[in-house]
Amino acid sequence: MSPKLPLSVLVVIHTLDLQVLLLERAQRPGYWQSVTGSLDWLEEPLEQAAAREVLEETGIDTADGRLARWNVANTFEIYGHWRHRFAPGVTHNTEHVFGLALRAPRPVTLAADEHMAFAWLPWQEAARRCFSWSNRDAIRMLGENAA
């Protein structure tokens, strides 16, 4: 298997009334997050990666809502327990933030190898539950910009 690229997307899936979908990681119980994933190849368009990851992790088709790039990118240190998935010496990842606005909560089909549970939560609660600061900040940005 090829090493993961240190370029990824974060997609905050939310409803018009600001319920946010969070997923609990299968290999890290208690770690809740939005949809995330690395680009499959260096030139993969970010929008394509975001739509692919949403479909793979939730079964939701982004065509059913409005996918928008937020023009926010976060660079952060990759947690040590996940570094083995990247090329030797890679320590940081750059994550591009998207939102997917849906009219209402949708049924979710989890990728069992990645996630074990999901929850639709009010944005404030979703932000508190996220283990990742970049995910938490993106959800806060969503809620604060809607106010």
Contacts of 106 (CB under 8 A, 6+ apart): 58, 60, 64
How do residues 118-144 score in pLDDT, each as one tens digit? 999 999 999 999 999 999 999 999 999
pTM of the model: 0.95
Instruction: Please give the Cα distance from 3 to 39 (Å, whole number).
Output: 11
Does residue 26 contact residue 114 with C-beta atoms inside 8 Å? yes
Q: Residue 101 — very low, low, confident or very high, per pLDDT cuts 50/70/90?
A: very high
Does residue 10 contact residue 36 with C-beta atoms inside 8 Å? yes
